[in-house]
Homo-oligomer: A and B are copies of this chain.
């Protein structure tokens, strides 16, 4: 399956496949949603949180959410024969259809892809260098939080990230920090865990939700709020999270060295991503 670019297995509406029909609305308009799921020893991690975000995305887009059991059955099929650590990507598109108007009786298409995933223990242990992107994310409260297929802004922002940087931090047009190009961001300030509020743009990551819950279990105060440039610059610690990497500390922001601190280590240990 050379066309899948390293995907070792794929399933489209329940059938093994390596293509999608040309009329697919995901292709034509980005009319759909996706999830990137970490798989360890054949088990999908945090599936319930991925499924909940998909369900919310379907509601926002007015798409039918496939039956939970159907998705779980297909997920199990895709995970069969997965290597020790893998990534499963699920795309839900609004099926086939011409024009912006949603076709009556259209059927959501389920596209599963299985990819190998390489862990990066050094990034987890030592932290990564990140920079601020120049691109400003647009504001669209109607789509905030969901993981839809319109991702050109992330591609443009990612294009600003070159080694030694591993990620780019994105601000919105009000100069509020939103997220990294493919991760959420946490700040630690006076032992409080702070993450940008995602009511106007950004993706509400499943690892973001997990980290907030675990922090509360550990008795840490947690705040979703507006984060401006000054708050970012003065944070005690910075962390990046997503469902594939877990938690990465930030050891450098632009040219400035940052401390990899105790809150990061506690959260990594409690979330099962200890370096």
Contacts and interface: CB of A to CB of B under 8 A. Distances in A.
A22 B19 contact: yes
Given A100-B155, A140-B138, A28 B34 contact: yes
Given A22-B12, A62-B159, A142-B135, A149 B4 contact: no
Contacts of A140: 138, 153
A7 interface: yes
B62 A149 contact: no
A195 interface: no
A27 interface: yes
Interface residues of A, number: 58
A155 B28 CA distance: 11
Nearest to A135: B142
A22 B34 contact: no
Interface string A67-107: 00000000000000000000000010100111111100000
A93 B34 CA distance: 18
Nearest to A87: B98
A17 B5 CA distance: 20
A99 B166 CA distance: 13
A20 B23 CA distance: 9
Contacts of A4: 21-23
Contacts of A135: 142
Contacts of A102: 155, 158-159
B19 A21 contact: yes
A181 B100 contact: yes
A207 B42 CA distance: 53
A78 to B, nearest CB: 13
A135 B149 CA distance: 19
B10 A22 contact: yes
Contacts of A253: none
Contacts of A97: 5
Contact of A19 (B20, B142, B154, B173): B20
Nearest to A61: B152
B152 A152 contact: no
A198 interface: no
Given A3-B23, A4-B21, A31-B151, 18 more contacts: A5-B96, A7-B22, A19-B19, A19-B21, A22-B113, A27-B93, A28-B151, A29-B30, A29-B149, A31-B152, A61-B152, A61-B155, A99-B182, A138-B139, A139-B173, A143-B152, A143-B153, A150-B152
